[in-house]
Amino acid sequence: MSYASQASNYRELEVLSASPERLVVLLYDGLVVQLERARLATERQHLEGQVVALSKARAIVGELLATLDFEQGGEIADRLASIYQYLLLELVDVGRRGDTALMRRLGGIAAELRDGFAGAAEQVATVKLSA
């Protein structure tokens, strides 16, 4: 079995066994990776790689937006929805302009959100273990 195949199997098992909190962190991980891939592809003038990475990034943000629970999330869900809508708008336009600085900023936003959700997921896991 090749390394790529083993890595893919591991990732699939990780997703299938992850808590909902961990799944959100995994989505953010994927978003950060796709934004970096898009930036690198743009710098290398690899249009196909840029388009694929930005498309995957938009799909991830769309998934994050679609899974918001506005009833339980209240103001936080509203704020996240605004951030996700901003990201989606910028992801549509950034590819046309080839703006690598903006791609880096969007990646920074995604990384900050990822870190926040990772911290929250750790707290939830700690509470579940102590219960």
Q: Does domain 20-120 have CATH number 3.90.1170.50?
A: no
Encode the chain (131 residues) as per-residue pLDDT tens digits.
775 566 554 455 555 456 888 999 999 999 999 999 999 999 999 999 999 999 999 999 999 999 999 999 999 999 999 999 999 999 998 988 989 999 999 999 999 999 999 999 899 888 877 86
Say if residues 73 and 80 touch (Cβ distance below 8 Å).
Answer: yes
Predicted TM-score (pTM) of the model is 0.85
Measured CA to CA, the distance from residue 65 to residue 78 in angstroms comes to 10
Report the pLDDT value the prediction gives residue 6, as an integer from 0 to 100: 60
Residue 123 in tokens? 């707290």
Give the Cα separation of 35 and 20 in Å (integer).
Answer: 23
